[in-house]
Amino acid sequence: MSQNDLPRFIMCFCTGECPGFAKLDLWKLINFVRNELDVEYAIVHPQLCVTDGDKFWRDYLVKSGNDRIYIVGGCDPRMQRKMFKDAFAEKGLDFDKQVISLDLRNMETSEAMKKVEEAVRKVVGA
Protein backbone atom coordinates (compact mmCIF):
# COMPACT_ATOMS: atom_id res chain seq x y z
CA MET A 1 0.00 0.00 0.00
CA SER A 2 1.48 3.32 -1.04
CA GLN A 3 1.63 6.33 1.27
CA ASN A 4 -1.20 8.00 -0.69
CA ASP A 5 -3.42 4.95 -0.15
CA LEU A 6 -3.07 5.07 3.62
CA PRO A 7 -6.02 6.36 5.61
CA ARG A 8 -6.00 9.86 6.99
CA PHE A 9 -6.89 10.28 10.67
CA ILE A 10 -8.77 13.38 11.78
CA MET A 11 -9.60 13.90 15.44
CA CYS A 12 -12.36 16.30 16.42
CA PHE A 13 -11.91 17.21 20.06
CA CYS A 14 -15.14 19.16 20.60
CA THR A 15 -13.30 22.27 21.84
CA GLY A 16 -11.54 20.23 24.52
CA GLU A 17 -14.34 21.06 26.92
CA CYS A 18 -16.73 18.20 26.17
CA PRO A 19 -17.04 16.04 29.30
CA GLY A 20 -17.04 12.99 27.03
CA PHE A 21 -13.34 13.50 26.36
CA ALA A 22 -12.29 14.10 29.98
CA LYS A 23 -10.47 10.75 30.23
CA LEU A 24 -8.76 11.03 26.84
CA ASP A 25 -5.21 12.34 26.55
CA LEU A 26 -5.49 13.92 23.10
CA TRP A 27 -1.77 14.29 22.47
CA LYS A 28 -0.95 10.77 23.57
CA LEU A 29 -3.62 9.46 21.19
CA ILE A 30 -2.64 11.63 18.22
CA ASN A 31 1.07 10.86 18.59
CA PHE A 32 0.32 7.13 18.86
CA VAL A 33 -1.72 7.27 15.67
CA ARG A 34 0.80 9.29 13.65
CA ASN A 35 3.89 7.44 14.88
CA GLU A 36 2.72 3.86 15.37
CA LEU A 37 -0.08 3.24 12.87
CA ASP A 38 -0.16 3.02 9.09
CA VAL A 39 -1.76 6.39 8.37
CA GLU A 40 -0.74 9.09 5.94
CA TYR A 41 -1.02 11.58 8.79
CA ALA A 42 -3.04 12.47 11.87
CA ILE A 43 -4.51 15.89 12.52
CA VAL A 44 -6.66 17.55 15.17
CA HIS A 45 -9.51 19.98 14.63
CA PRO A 46 -11.09 21.65 17.66
CA GLN A 47 -14.71 21.42 16.47
CA LEU A 48 -15.63 20.08 13.05
CA CYS A 49 -19.38 20.62 13.50
CA VAL A 50 -19.24 24.43 13.42
CA THR A 51 -18.67 26.92 10.59
CA ASP A 52 -14.88 26.71 10.49
CA GLY A 53 -15.12 22.91 10.60
CA ASP A 54 -17.40 23.00 7.59
CA LYS A 55 -14.95 25.32 5.82
CA PHE A 56 -12.11 22.97 6.76
CA TRP A 57 -13.82 20.02 5.04
CA ARG A 58 -14.56 22.04 1.92
CA ASP A 59 -10.94 23.20 1.67
CA TYR A 60 -9.41 19.88 2.71
CA LEU A 61 -11.31 17.47 0.48
CA VAL A 62 -10.27 17.11 -3.14
CA LYS A 63 -12.49 16.02 -6.00
CA SER A 64 -9.95 13.51 -7.23
CA GLY A 65 -9.73 11.89 -3.81
CA ASN A 66 -12.52 9.37 -4.24
CA ASP A 67 -10.21 6.52 -3.28
CA ARG A 68 -9.14 8.08 0.01
CA ILE A 69 -10.32 6.81 3.37
CA TYR A 70 -10.82 9.16 6.30
CA ILE A 71 -10.96 7.87 9.85
CA VAL A 72 -12.66 10.49 12.00
CA GLY A 73 -12.46 10.26 15.76
CA GLY A 74 -14.97 12.28 17.69
CA CYS A 75 -18.62 12.08 18.62
CA ASP A 76 -21.58 9.95 17.55
CA PRO A 77 -21.08 8.58 14.00
CA ARG A 78 -24.67 9.54 13.13
CA MET A 79 -23.91 13.15 14.04
CA GLN A 80 -20.69 13.04 12.02
CA ARG A 81 -22.58 11.80 8.98
CA LYS A 82 -25.26 14.46 9.37
CA MET A 83 -22.71 17.26 9.74
CA PHE A 84 -20.08 16.25 7.15
CA LYS A 85 -21.85 14.38 4.32
CA ASP A 86 -22.75 17.50 2.34
CA ALA A 87 -19.13 18.66 2.15
CA PHE A 88 -18.18 15.22 0.80
CA ALA A 89 -21.06 15.21 -1.70
CA GLU A 90 -20.06 18.67 -3.00
CA LYS A 91 -16.67 17.23 -3.95
CA GLY A 92 -18.21 14.15 -5.58
CA LEU A 93 -17.12 11.94 -2.70
CA ASP A 94 -19.11 9.24 -0.91
CA PHE A 95 -19.20 9.78 2.84
CA ASP A 96 -20.59 6.30 3.53
CA LYS A 97 -17.80 4.57 1.60
CA GLN A 98 -14.92 6.88 2.47
CA VAL A 99 -15.41 7.73 6.13
CA ILE A 100 -15.01 5.53 9.15
CA SER A 101 -16.58 7.44 12.02
CA LEU A 102 -15.37 6.48 15.47
CA ASP A 103 -17.13 7.54 18.65
CA LEU A 104 -14.25 8.02 21.08
CA ARG A 105 -16.24 9.70 23.84
CA ASN A 106 -16.12 8.34 27.37
CA MET A 107 -13.02 6.27 26.65
CA GLU A 108 -9.72 6.03 28.42
CA THR A 109 -6.79 6.85 26.14
CA SER A 110 -5.80 3.18 25.82
CA GLU A 111 -9.35 2.25 24.74
CA ALA A 112 -9.39 4.98 22.10
CA MET A 113 -5.96 3.91 20.85
CA LYS A 114 -7.20 0.34 20.44
CA LYS A 115 -10.35 1.44 18.60
CA VAL A 116 -8.40 3.62 16.16
CA GLU A 117 -5.81 0.88 15.64
CA GLU A 118 -8.57 -1.63 14.79
CA ALA A 119 -10.05 0.78 12.23
CA VAL A 120 -6.65 1.41 10.62
CA ARG A 121 -5.88 -2.31 10.45
CA LYS A 122 -9.23 -2.93 8.78
CA VAL A 123 -8.42 -0.36 6.09
CA VAL A 124 -4.83 -1.40 5.40
CA GLY A 125 -5.53 -5.11 5.73
CA ALA A 126 -2.98 -5.73 8.47
- Give the model's pLDDT for residue 7: 97
Q: Does residue 90 fall inside a structural domain? A: yes
Domain extent, residue 120, equals 9-124
> Cα(33)–Cα(116) distance, rounded to whole angstroms?
8
76-86 pLDDT, tens digit per residue, is 999 999 999 99
Q: Does residue 2 fall inside a structural domain? A: no
How many domains is the chain built from?
A: 1
24-76 pLDDT, tens digit per residue, is 999 999 999 999 999 999 999 988 888 888 899 999 998 777 889 999 999 89
The set of residues, in sequence order, having a beta carbon less than 8 Å from that of 78 and lying 6+ positions away, is none
How far is CA 112 from each of CA 3, 10, 72, 109, 124, rounded to the nearest angstrom?
Answer: 24, 13, 12, 5, 18
Whole-model pTM: value is 0.92
